[in-house]
Structure 1
């Protein structure tokens, strides 16, 4: 009796899964969004990436070329901001020099005003460089979020192909909501807070007599 019940249960399960598998076979995997994300990646970073396709990543990836491309991109970013870094270093040296030569001025007010002007310029340039870094990080987070969202339909189609129709239906809103929520929180809350903390730390180190970290 038990064997008959078990056999009937297995038969019912097979009959329930067969239509889902048949539907999954009839529906091809929609990779249009993934292809768009890959094209955007190639447009922005194609000069630093080796020639390969996302459809055969495991077979044709040139890891040595990939590492070399990442190194070239890092060097490009450093070289692009070299002038800004040089200006910051020169202003910092001038500020330290004026501080050490304050006793040589006939009027201490002149030295203090000169150092205050240099510090203000340093703060402005530092805030500008931090804003560039935050914008770059925000663009990176948005690109990663878009890539993950483009992968969700492919993952759901694979789940349906395996017969997990219920799981695919349940995971679709969860994955989209979680991805969008994490991307929004990081871009609009975490990164601005990091920017504000960095600016306050610079002000706390440069401005004498003001201890912002104790507020």
Structure 2
């Protein structure tokens, strides 16, 4: 009888032992789920989500669904579907819509250019004529006014895009750096926070206050050079554009280079500190040392997951905030290129060169706006990557 009782005790103990890992795994998963929900409620994501809703209201018809909860759910299940195909198709539809919207500008430019070409031909045929020259200059000045008006619109679009990107990164940065500190990247967060804030202020001021005005002046100088054959300032316009290229290249190199160096240095320091703290906690704190170490690991794991989700959504948002204004500017570039190509066969080189110069200067507005978006996109990617490096080194 004792042997039978002993057999059943051992048998049930064996079954209980088999079920413990599954129960432990289930309990751990439930704890991780609860911890993740608490972290989401604790974080202040209101400003970030407000930006996402604004973007959805403005250009949502061209974009796939963007939300932190969706990306977080995808990451938890080991998949990530950003809808790149629909995103690219949406960008093409938006560009086509902008081209249609700017078709009236193309019509005005071509009609005025043809009128100027006809007047120029009449002046050549009938030699002198003050009235004809005056009519030609009036038509040419009207064309220049329309061109500068659309150019100012492109610069305003670029300025607004820079402002919105800076405002969004200001809202996103505290969230990302808080999550970075939660996974142990205290040193990295302390190094990156002031650097990025100062860099954003300098960068936005430089782009809006120096680069865009220089490009605008270069466009005006190009048009002035085409008005008179005696007074040429095209080389001065070229100098302004070269200064813009130099400033953009310098900013891009310094920003990304210094950000990468500081991020790597902070990640290495954080990994050493965390490994030491984890070892000392697990070894020298009696009874609860191992529990504290495991709790820190759980918090770091959920924070890493949430940081990656917020970082991905943030990078996509910056990309959208820069891409759509850039496409608007690109549509204007294409309009001016087409107008210059259509006008050139009529024989008025002055008008064709003016339109081509406007297109060339618009490309610099395009490049400046895209460069700011690239810098902020890279900054967010580096912050996300540095957190992953910290965890791997730990």
Task: State which of 40, 53, 60 in structure 2 corresponds to 1:46.
Answer: 60
Find the counterpart in structure 2 of residue 77 from structure 1: 98
Change (3 A) 1:191 1:106: closer
1:128-143 equivalence runs, <5 A: 128-143=149-164
Unmatched runs of 5 consecutive residues or more in structure 1: 1-24
Task: State which of 141, 164, 170 in structure 1 corresponds to 2:185.
Answer: 164
Unmatched runs of 5 consecutive residues or more in structure 2: 1-38, 75-79, 237-394
Secondary structure of the residue aligned to 1:133 is helix
What is the RMSD of the two structures over their aligned residues, measured on CA atoms?
Answer: 2.3
Find the counterpart in structure 1 of residue 196 from structure 2: 175
**Whose Rg is larger?**
2
Q: Please give the per-residue CA displacement for 1:104-129, whole angstroms capped at 9, x wherever unaligned.
A: 34752122111110111011111101
CA contact (8 A) 1:105 1:111 kept: no
Whole-angstrom CA distance in 2 between matches of 1:53 and 1:83: 37
The two structures have a TM-score, normalised by structure 1, of: 0.78
Change (3 A) 1:85 1:62: same
Displacement of 1:178: 1.2
Matched, 1:197 2:218: yes
Q: Please give the per-residue CA displacement for 1:116-169, whole angstroms capped at 9, x wherever unaligned.
A: 101110111111010111111111112222222222112211221122323323
Give the 4+ runs in structure 1 shifted more than 4 A.
none
CA contact (8 A) 2:52 2:66 kept: no
CA contact (8 A) 1:38 1:54 kept: no
Displacement of 1:214: 5.2
Matched, 1:32 2:40: no
**How many residue pairs get matched?**
191
Between 94-103 and 118-127, report the one with greater CA deviation: 94-103
Q: Please give the per-residue CA displacement for 1:52-77, whole angstroms capped at 9, x wherever unaligned.
A: 32444472322121111111111122
Displacement of 1:212: 1.9
CA contact (8 A) 2:177 2:189 kept: yes
